[in-house]
Copies of this chain bind each other. A is one copy, B any other.
């Protein structure tokens, strides 16, 4: 089914923006995995708003564990958790009834669910549900870290403002630094400029998009499956489940359209007895399987569709053209928050692919 990700490690997500809780069930976790609630809380915080930049809707977002955890360790049975939806203001949405917010799923969900969908705040299609992905991902991400596998992202491009690249020879320090930041940008000047750009978008009742670049380091060669469950296939499937993502590329990605084979091919060499590649245009993946180099991918996050500017739209209940002004609390950019979700999705997929080969006890 659609709301479940993974095979060896399976996450099922449920909930709506304005219901009492959203939540998840993770099946397939090994017994004896440490659950560090501080670590999870830190990830949840990254997904929440950054002062001044984002929506004032702030939720504690502490996952409440219902099953599968005792005394700080997984039991191996399904781990279920809830995250309370406090602070929902349904009235914000009442006046939007029947109006399709451009760039949102209101209209498509209405058709898909025959009018029975919970339209308030995007319902099941709300970005709110990414909190479940972040909570689940944090559990796996910590497990991967304990095995030397690091995951981290930076905002490589926000509305044209670029961050410095990571140190490709020694990315671990940069990744750790990014993971300690609320606004994941290496270059302080770029960070300041980006934040200014976001505030400017807010003033203009508009929003901005950007590109996240994500790194996974410490992966052994040989992870991934052939054909339909390649590392790229599984990762892209997970990442496209995040609202606002409209593209993903690995390594040099779309630039490869303008490269020649002799440039794009990553030549192999030996270093300290290990096989490496001299470049990493293929983003650490050959034939869908990791080659031991860092996995690098970029995700484009579209500008937040909720903008205060008046827009043309339709009322899909009475099939009439209409105008819409979205007044509620909304982010002029979500990329700095989406980063926590992309990292979490990467953790879930990486852990799943490793456990498919080696069994889930590999994580412990």
Contact = CB atoms under 8 A, between A and B. Distances in A.
A102 interface: yes
29 contacts: A2-B27, A3-B78, A3-B225, A3-B226, A3-B227, A4-B10, A5-B228, A12-B25, A13-B227, A14-B77, A15-B66, A21-B66, A31-B113, A75-B118, A107-B221, A107-B268, A107-B286, A108-B289, A111-B220, A209-B261, A233-B236, A234-B237, A246-B249, A247-B249, A256-B302, A261-B306, A264-B303, A275-B314, A358-B361
Interface residues of A, number: 153
A170 B265 CA distance: 39
* 3 interchain residue pairs of minimum CB distance: A105-B287, A247-B249, A2-B225
A104 B285 CA distance: 9
A185 interface: no
Contacts of A245: 232
A238 B228 contact: yes
Interface stretch (A41-49, A51-59, A121-129, A137-145): A121-129
A107 B360 CA distance: 21
Q: Which of A21, A104, A273, A275 has the most CB of B within 10 A?
A: A275
A272 to B, nearest CB: 11
Interface in A266-322: 266-270, 273, 275, 277-278, 281-283, 285-291, 300-307, 309, 311-314, 316, 319-321
Interface in A170-226: 201, 204, 206-211, 220-226
Given A240-B232, A282-B246, A287 B108 contact: yes
Given A66-B19, A256-B246, A291-B108, A230 B240 contact: yes
